[in-house]
Structure 1
Amino acid sequence: MRLTFFILSVLLLASCSNNNTITLSGVITNPDSNVITLNIPYTQTHDTIATLAEDGTFKATIEISKPHMANLINGDAYLKLNLVPGANLNIKFDGIELKSGKAANVTITGEGSESSSLLLNMRNADTNNNLRAVLSLPTAEFEETVTSDAMLLSKMIEEFESSNPGNDTFIEMLRLEQKVLLAQKYDYFVMYHARFAPNDTLPIPEEYKTFSATIPTDNYEAFKEIRVYQQFVVNEHTSKIENQIKEEEIEERSAEFVNREIDIIKTLEVPQIVKDELGNRLLGSYTYQPDSIKNIMKERYTEIITNKKYTKAFTVLLAQLEKLQPGAIAPTFAYNDINGEKVTSEDLKGKVIYIDVWATWCGPCKAEIPHLKKMEEELHEQDIAFVSISVDNNKSAWEKMVAEKELKGYQLFAPNDWNSEIIKDYAIRGIPRFIMIDKEGKLVNANASRPSNPETKEKLIELANS
């Protein structure tokens, strides 16, 4: 009897152990990287879990105590999964296809793969990939398109629910996510339809403007699990906070405004995880702020942020920016130009260097191009090197725009887009970013004014003549 009890106990322990792990294996053809990383928003982890073998196969076992949404990442290719304890998933995809957004040939099989397969099927069923085209539709066609798509996805969720009982939390989160995505489309239609379809003069339905208000902002489990819902909640709180401060008639973007924003975040009746995200978003503008606001952020950020990952990142940023003060030796660069020729900062020493870090997908970047071209023409006889460094992830898109827009100066391409050296060296958090370097290779301003600002031309002439 004792032996039987012992054996049963061992089996139960083994079963519990197995149910707290998940095995991920498979093969990637045309991989975008030689490693597999896994991002789990709920636990705020982003870890390398496997290295690809020469034939593209991989295998990893991870500990997990409850179901969580996750992203399996290979370079710029990503796949959304629902990780269920005890699952054994086999995943196959083409890295180049998935990187470009095509997931039709992806397969997810194995024990516990049903919910991840649903996520994949929903991704492939979403026909609204060209958002600009959808937002350009007349109102009636837009409504028909987004409603039809929402109904299709809702039906897929219902069918999964009926054949896979016991997934109530997963289903609830999926439905919440779909509602947020629909709200986004309505919001974008309100904001951009007139620009994309200027000949459509029909009024936009009022319900588009109020649909977001029907979504609760207090599902904190979903907040930790679903990135798009987290962004929605942060947007809603940010909007309410800013409107409150405006009603108090405090000057926008002033030091007093930022102080009041921090005061309100501190007193919000929400979990700390929400305050962390609100505070981290506030810090995201740090590099673009005047010193008066930077000082407030440095002094008070720990009052609203306790997340160690965020506080550490901000500390690292401050250390980086300290090295980018005026008069410091500018970080060097070496990139190939549009003709494949290497251009380095050392090659341009003796000239004033004005750098534009940009990308073809960046609207504000493209808005500066006419001003930059005009300034280049007016100052072409000065000792000034105009250097545009693209951080596009699509090199052909960059090459096409350089040709079509007849861009002048030094047109350089930085590999690895947002992980490129220029981004890291200058602690860039958003583009366009303009950088001014003097003839001796010293920084004048690591966050210089844009070409559209008249002061930029004046400063460049002053430096060129010094």
Structure 2
Amino acid sequence: MKNPGPFLTTFFSAVITLNLFDCQVLATNSYDEIIITVQAFDFEPQEVELHLFNKIAVATPNEIGNSKIKTKAYGPAYYSLRSGRNRIEIYLLPGDSLHLDLNWGDPTGTVSFSGDRVVENQFLIDKHKAKEDNGWADFIGLYRSEPEEFQRKLDLGLYSIYSLIGELKSGGRADRTFVQMEMQYPDYRTALMAANYVQNHSRFNQVPPEDINYSEEEAQQSLLNLDNTNVDLLPLPVFREVLELHRRLIWEKRMNQEVYGQGYDIVMKERFRVLEKNFESGKIVEFIKFDYLSFLLRRSGPGDVDSHFAMFLAETENPVYIQAMKTDLKVWEPILPGMQVPDFKFENPDGDAIRLSDLRGKMVYIDVWASWCGPCRQEIPHWDKLVGEYSDRDIYFLAISLDATRESWESMLNSKEMKGIHVYAPGVWNSEFARHFNVRGIPRFILIDAEGRVILPQTERPSGNIRERLDQLLKS
């Protein structure tokens, strides 16, 4: 088994207290904690989760929909409160207690607040509604718009949000830090949308970027000209999004391209060197490193950059980054290379049960997919070609569907006549297999050895350079 690296040798756990209570009473709170209470109506009995950079607390509602989360606070912060696939953004300071009454089927449309930060959180709801009214919340519709219509939507949204900010300031009751951050929101959000317009318009309308009458270079330069040194804006989600795009543009324009192909470690060192050269603030650089490493971790696991995770954790003193990264690292522990995979049971197209143990004796290349997933469907011809090329080798090709219904899955199989072994995993994202392998997006490709142990919890697609890896493994 591969050594999982120094970052997995020790972990700390955040102190999270979860219990049920009478939602009509708001508890007193210590300054280093936050308390969130929820009364859900017409709710389905799903867990309520609190996210910062990742999930930091969970509560299970009682029989009448009451739930409570009490957890450590990390300064002024925008949190995401979630149940199932629904969510609502909230803002809290250390020591705050906030109560929400809502319907999880439409949280932003039904919520009412009491307790601390009512003004701030009602502003976030009003801002969300303004974005819906002006087309900002319709991601696909916004970017499908032609340039003039796109700009019109930006201007209308700006007018509405500036009006809300004016009311927030004149009211005089909102947290000063919150007001200062929200005053920056319009500039950062519109710059981000403009910088992404050409790429997304091309994608959604299937037109070449060069045929779009919109200056991508000018929009991206406007984003690069925004202040990227103000560490007080780091709690603001849109500021972090701007930093993420800023980072990608900097790497695209200013990295030494010759490092590619020299190994991931050399590439990572060059990327971090460019960050330190182009961003003045050490705290901003620290956040961008954290954000990028966390992205790699959630997408692919520790993989080839475990030394960089270890180095970052050794250098940073930010408790939020430490908790978030160690929490994400812990998720991968059961599926690191060499770990035994549970003997999951699936259903084949005939309705018969099939277990992973039925495939012992050969390596297994797994495709986790669904019929509704566009990128998954794009991989089908590459998958079929790969299966044909390796038909006489010691490898099984197993496609695990996360479709919501068997009918959708079977319809796709019948229409495409897809190759390989096909099985259905009931439960979609909550299926045992998806939860065990931390599947957060599809398609996802996994390699398991002939003894049922993990080779790689995430590997290349059929359309990528998977053949080189398979050939190497099949020779060993």
TM-score interval, normalised by the smaller of the two chains: 0.7 to 0.9
Paired residues of 1:266 and 1:275 also in contact (CA < 8 A): no
Length, aligned pairs only: 434
The structural deviation recorded for 1:445 is 5.3
In the alignment, what sits opposite 2:113?
108
In the alignment, what sits opposite 2:154?
146
Paired residues of 1:329 and 1:443 also in contact (CA < 8 A): yes
Paired residues of 1:125 and 1:153 also in contact (CA < 8 A): yes
Q: Secondary structure at the match of 1:72?
A: strand
CA 1:451 to 1:65, structure 2 compared with 1: closer, same or farther past 3 Å? closer
CA distance in 1, matches of 2:416, 2:43: 34
Which residue among 191, 213, 220 is the counterpart of 1:209?
220
In the alignment, what sits opposite 1:245?
255
In the alignment, what sits opposite 2:271?
261
**Deviations, residues 392-418 of structure 1 (Å, cap 9, x unaligned):** 7x669965984696464414236362x
Q: Secondary structure at the match of 2:145?
A: coil
In the alignment, what sits opposite 1:227?
237
**Deviations, residues 128-184 of structure 1 (Å, cap 9, x unaligned):** 333122211111111112221222122122223222355442122123233322223
The structural deviation recorded for 1:119 is 0.7
With 370-379 and 172-181 compared, the bigger mean Cα shift is at: 370-379
Which residue among 456, 460, 463 is the counterpart of 1:452?
463
Paired residues of 2:294 and 2:325 also in contact (CA < 8 A): no
CA 1:80 to 1:401, structure 2 compared with 1: closer, same or farther past 3 Å? farther
In the alignment, what sits opposite 1:410?
422
Q: Secondary structure at the match of 1:95?
A: coil
The structural deviation recorded for 1:28 is 0.8
CA distance in 2, matches of 1:301, 1:85: 26
CA distance in 2, matches of 1:54, 1:232: 42
Which residue among 73, 94, 104 is the counterpart of 2:103?
94
Which residue among 145, 160, 168 is the counterpart of 2:168?
160
Which amino acid is 1:432 matched to? P
The structural deviation recorded for 1:314 is 7.5
Q: Secondary structure at the match of 1:70?
A: strand
With 171-180 and 312-321 compared, the bigger mean Cα shift is at: 312-321
In the alignment, what sits opposite 1:46?
56
**Deviations, residues 78-102 of structure 1 (Å, cap 9, x unaligned):** 211223578664422222344xxxx
With 309-318 and 255-264 compared, the bigger mean Cα shift is at: 309-318
Say whether residues 1:357 and 2:368 are aligned partners. Answer: yes
CA 1:359 to 1:150, structure 2 compared with 1: closer, same or farther past 3 Å? farther
The structural deviation recorded for 1:204 is 0.8
Paired residues of 1:35 and 1:52 also in contact (CA < 8 A): yes
Paired residues of 1:242 and 1:261 also in contact (CA < 8 A): no
**Deviations, residues 348-387 of structure 1 (Å, cap 9, x unaligned):** 4456533112356765434212222444577779886542
Q: Secondary structure at the match of 2:43?
A: coil
CA distance in 2, matches of 1:185, 1:237: 16
Paired residues of 1:39 and 1:45 also in contact (CA < 8 A): yes
With 169-178 and 293-302 compared, the bigger mean Cα shift is at: 293-302
In the alignment, what sits opposite 2:177?
169
* Structure 2 residues not aligned, in runs of 5+: 1-27
Paired residues of 1:324 and 1:426 also in contact (CA < 8 A): no
Q: Which has the higher contact order (CA 8 A, sep 6+)?
A: 2
TM-score normalised per structure 1: 0.73
Which amino acid is 2:268 matched to? V
With 351-360 and 142-151 compared, the bigger mean Cα shift is at: 351-360
CA distance in 2, matches of 1:150, 1:193: 20
CA 1:209 to 1:335, structure 2 compared with 1: closer, same or farther past 3 Å? same
RMSD: 4.5
Say whether residues 1:132 and 2:143 are aligned partners. Answer: no
Say whether residues 1:31 and 2:12 are aligned partners. Answer: no
Which residue among 332, 337, 344 is the counterpart of 1:324?
337
The structural deviation recorded for 1:68 is 3.8
CA 1:39 to 1:459, structure 2 compared with 1: closer, same or farther past 3 Å? closer
**Deviations, residues 189-235 of structure 1 (Å, cap 9, x unaligned):** 12122233356935214643333134211221221x12332232243
Paired residues of 1:276 and 1:304 also in contact (CA < 8 A): no
Which amino acid is 2:182 matched to? L
The structural deviation recorded for 1:324 is 1.8
Which amino acid is 2:91 matched to? N
CA distance in 2, matches of 1:107, 1:282: 37
CA 1:251 to 1:70, structure 2 compared with 1: closer, same or farther past 3 Å? closer
In the alignment, what sits opposite 1:192?
200
* Structure 1 residues not aligned, in runs of 5+: 1-16
Say whether residues 1:120 and 2:125 are aligned partners. Answer: yes
CA 1:340 to 1:77, structure 2 compared with 1: closer, same or farther past 3 Å? farther
Which amino acid is 1:93 matched to? L
The structural deviation recorded for 1:320 is 5.1
Q: Secondary structure at the match of 1:434?
A: strand
**Deviations, residues 411-442 of structure 1 (Å, cap 9, x unaligned):** 4236362x765456446686533234455545
CA distance in 2, matches of 1:400, 1:444: 29
In the alignment, what sits opposite 1:83?
92
Q: Secondary structure at the match of 1:96?
A: coil
Which amino acid is 2:43 matched to? P
In the alignment, what sits opposite 2:356?
345
TM-score normalised per structure 2: 0.72
CA 1:405 to 1:243, structure 2 compared with 1: closer, same or farther past 3 Å? farther
CA 1:349 to 1:31, structure 2 compared with 1: closer, same or farther past 3 Å? farther
CA distance in 2, matches of 1:271, 1:192: 32
In the alignment, what sits opposite 1:11?
none
CA 1:113 to 1:86, structure 2 compared with 1: closer, same or farther past 3 Å? farther
The structural deviation recorded for 1:23 is 5.9
CA 1:284 to 1:455, structure 2 compared with 1: closer, same or farther past 3 Å? closer
In the alignment, what sits opposite 2:18?
none
The structural deviation recorded for 1:265 is 4.9
CA distance in 2, matches of 1:318, 1:241: 28
